[in-house]
Chains A and B, each alone.
Chain A
């Protein structure tokens, strides 16, 4: 084969080995092997020019230091200026090393032991070297881009919010990359969440209005967008703060979308607004003040405006808190107490309205720490009506306890004297009727006083009461008082405790008394039993009073069961109401059923355990257990 043809053929085959590889190193490796094979050379290297000199990209052999010829070539390369290419060295006789420029990349070094590369071939290598340089440059750029992309992707994936890279083409915006959080949030989609994004982005070029409902910051200068938007997620609709940022560079239609999930924030805002509306519309006054003898209003609701008969909330501006007190000293005392205790409940205070009317208010509050120091969060309930009713009850109580009872004593005494002076049996029976009525009225008066005392002790109690001990106590008292009656306690030996005070004993005594006194049997019998039951999912103690009497009239039972009396449906006395109110105040229930014979009345109270028991040892529980 002619030498020229052989050269052209070899150069062509070298050209085949340039390019087509994945990485810079693979490209350089393959090309260098091609050069050496086709030129029948033994050593070589491709070197990249850097600021610090030439660094090897590929060498044959892998360790160039072990080969004298290649080492000589590398040494020469280090001292070679860019204008000195191509260059040649012959470190030992017959061994030749050639240095070629790889434009804008570095250099190619080829060594042939015991032979030369002829001049024509060396000259013919120039276009191949340029092609090799271009391939290496491209791979270097690719590698740099790949490294940049890897860094970008690492950041992309590290961002805990959904983020997507999009391009706009023919008016359609498509996702070309997204992070894992994006896919987790919006699913596997190439469509941008929120359909208004494209017009938003493209309109910024023309300055037309955007389609977002609430753009926060749309900078038409650099096409950045920040807005709230609703997007469909895999879990349903979600609220997002959307940031759209154009990718800098030639690709003006590429954008980065960042979605900050503000669903919870929006929900909390909604809840807060609802809460604010609720507070605003409460029929009680809710307000925030600064502490101190005077105090300053920081926030008031409409309820306080209404209670204090103000025209508007403006009434409270520049007005000290103490000004709404009838006695400003009470404000100072209240402030001191609240600061000292941190929280107060149901403090009754007198206020003066904007119209000059005095009212009673019940105030509860807590101290809250803010950046500006402590503030009072307060609730005021108008209790003027209740206070007036209490006054009325006090008056009635006084009337019952003193005036009515004194009058009845006078009537009773006069009736006794009248009865003693009468011989006529019929007239005497009339007098005795008067005496019985008077006695009933006295009893009723006593019971009314007792009922009053029920409410004086407030609702509920934290005192534990040993139910068995209480039942035994009640039974003994009635057997002593009514020897003809049988009051039996059938309860387990193990103590059962409920939260109750003396009102439970009052209720039990009333029921046992009714069962004995209104019994038509020769021997009234009353059985008291206890049992643990579940009430509304919580443990409770059921106290059952069963008698053998005639039963409770239906109309009295109905009044108790419905909790109200009507002109047509009312009881004959206060006894059952006393029981009903006592149980209601203690947080219990009462159930009345027919027994055979007689009546079965069950009282249900929440059961408490040993902790409450230990509390009872130092509280009023001892008094309850003793029956006092």
Chain B
């Protein structure tokens, strides 16, 4: 796939994107921007509208270009087949009618980006709708867009402009192989979620969620959890929602308010959660396994293509300097490697359930062949 990375803005950026979109094998653009790009500027919107091919994308904490994470600039990925771009508006208000808004068709795969700061139930409804409609008939990869420190700002866009509280989907006819792994392991639990709403857990086993979580960490690890620096400690001890025959679904706690702990992604009341912990080696190994899985999928194995990685920004925060090793582990296949560090990841691996993950490495091997 043709790629372009740019730190420019205004007319220069427009010229670069126009140049990419006019290339022979480019029928659409996937644009992954960092917070250094002012996507709300008129010039950016004008640039999007001026492009001659369908475009969609989002703003993410960082992007991955040539096997390196970058905190600035913009990555444009030229899609060799024309994508069908769908916008799901007012995601926080999503209901059962969502299924009807999804496109019918026989696309092989779809890139899906959601506003990470939209209501967790809305994101959950979208994931459910995608799975109900397509199941594994559509390979889905993507993640949550937005700034780490913000919410309520536009973070998604298409050729029609900038949008917020929404999801965008670009369905393509290229086969992709998907690997999904996180490498986190259970250290405490399970705890039954006895009071929760959307992504907020108020009670575990009938007691204060914060106190149960704090005790679980302090009993089973060397860490100490304080309300004041909750995020710094909690980022190393996410929740896991278990499932049979697969890694637990990770839910990343990011804030505490009284007894309630807020997570990225929905935590259904009644389910069981465990407290997870990891170490750099297990996480890096998991990312490597994800890449191997993606690259060994049947349609992909013998061809050429690009690795699109959607890795969680909180993994980067946790791994810190060793994150480069994770990127390097994924980058072992010799394929060009691009992607974004997201706030929550979306994927199915073509065999299992579609889910919204946290702290997970999603690797998509996108074939050059349509």
Contacts and interface: CB of A to CB of B under 8 A. Distances in A.
A435 interface: no
A67 B132 contact: no
Interface string B26-60: 00000000000000000000000000000000000
Given A9-B272, A16-B270, A36-B353, A61 B244 contact: no
Given A38-B243, A62-B133, A1 B353 contact: no
B270 A13 contact: yes
A573 interface: no
Interface stretch (A40-48, A280-288, A411-419, A501-509): A40-48
Given A13-B272, A29-B132, A33-B132, A42 B351 contact: yes
Contacts of A600: none
Interface string A49-92: 00000000000111000110010000000000000000000000
A40 B134 CA distance: 15
Interface stretch (A109-117, A138-146, A253-261): A109-117
A67 B136 contact: yes
Contacts, number: 85
A61 B133 contact: yes
Contacts of B136: 42-43, 67, 113
B350 interface: yes
B352 A61 contact: no
B274 A1 contact: yes
A40 B246 contact: yes
Contacts of B351: 42, 112-115
Contacts of A114: 351-352
Contacts of B131: 33, 36, 60
B353 A41 contact: yes
A581 B96 CA distance: 94
Contacts of B132: 29, 33, 60-62
A12 B132 CA distance: 22
Interface string B347-359: 0101111010000
A115 B270 CA distance: 27
B271 A13 contact: yes
Contact of B190 (A1, A38, A39): A1
Interface residues of B, number: 30
Contact of B135 (A10, A12, A67, A117): A67
A15 B151 CA distance: 35
Interface in B184-243: 186, 189-190, 242-243
A402 interface: no
B321 interface: no
Nearest to A95: B351
Contacts of B190: 1, 5, 9
A248 B205 CA distance: 50
Interface residues of A, number: 33
B311 interface: no
A66 B190 CA distance: 38
A114 B189 CA distance: 29
Given A10-B242, A33-B132, A60-B132, A40 B352 contact: yes
Interface string A447-489: 0000000000000000000000000000000000000000000
B121 to A, nearest CB: 14
B64 to A, nearest CB: 28
B244 A38 contact: yes
Contacts of B133: 61-62
B244 A10 contact: yes
Contact of A7 (B106, B137, B244, B274): B244
B99 interface: yes
B128 interface: yes
Nearest to B129: A62
Interface in B319-370: 348, 350-353, 355
A266 interface: no
A43 B245 CA distance: 15
Contacts of B245: 39-40, 115, 117-118
B135 A42 contact: yes
A7 B351 CA distance: 20
Contacts of A118: 245
A150 interface: no
A71 to B, nearest CB: 11
A41 B128 contact: no
Given A13-B270, A13-B272, A16-B270, A37 B243 contact: yes
Contacts of B350: 113
Contacts of A37: 243, 353, 355
B128 A33 contact: yes
A43 B270 CA distance: 24
A82 to B, nearest CB: 27
B328 to A, nearest CB: 28
Contacts of B189: 1
B271 A6 contact: no
B58 to A, nearest CB: 26
B220 to A, nearest CB: 13
B191 to A, nearest CB: 11
A151 B159 CA distance: 50
Contact of A42 (B128, B243, B352): B352
A121 interface: yes
Interface string A21-41: 000001001000100111111
Contacts of A5: 190
Contacts of B272: 9, 12-13
A37 B127 CA distance: 12
A114 B353 CA distance: 12
A72 to B, nearest CB: 14
A40 B135 contact: no
A581 to B, nearest CB: 92
Contacts of B128: 33
Nearest to A1: B186
Given A9-B190, A42-B352, A61 B242 contact: no
A117 B244 CA distance: 9
Interface in B114-162: 128, 131-137
Contact of B242 (A9, A16, A26): A9
Interface in A86-124: 112-115, 117-118, 121
A13 B106 CA distance: 33
Given A16-B270, A33-B128, A43 B135 contact: yes
A41 B245 CA distance: 9
Contacts of B270: 13, 16
B244 A60 contact: no
B247 to A, nearest CB: 10
Given A40-B353, A60-B132, A62-B133, A121 B274 contact: no
A67 B186 CA distance: 35
A115 to B, nearest CB: 6
Contact of A121 (B106, B186, B244, B353): B244
Contacts of A66: 106, 137
A430 to B, nearest CB: 127
Nearest to B189: A1
B271 A61 contact: no
A12 B271 CA distance: 8
Contacts of A70: 135
A61 B348 CA distance: 14
Nearest to B104: A63
A10 B243 CA distance: 6
A37 B132 CA distance: 11
A1 B351 CA distance: 24
B319 to A, nearest CB: 25
A118 B135 CA distance: 22
Nearest to B96: A26
Nearest to B99: A62
A263 to B, nearest CB: 50
Given A42-B352, A61-B135, 4 more contacts: A39-B243, A40-B352, A61-B134, A66-B106
10 contacts: A10-B242, A10-B244, A37-B243, A39-B243, A40-B353, A60-B131, A66-B106, A114-B351, A117-B244, A117-B245
Top-4 shortest CB links A-B: A61-B135, A114-B351, A113-B351, A42-B136
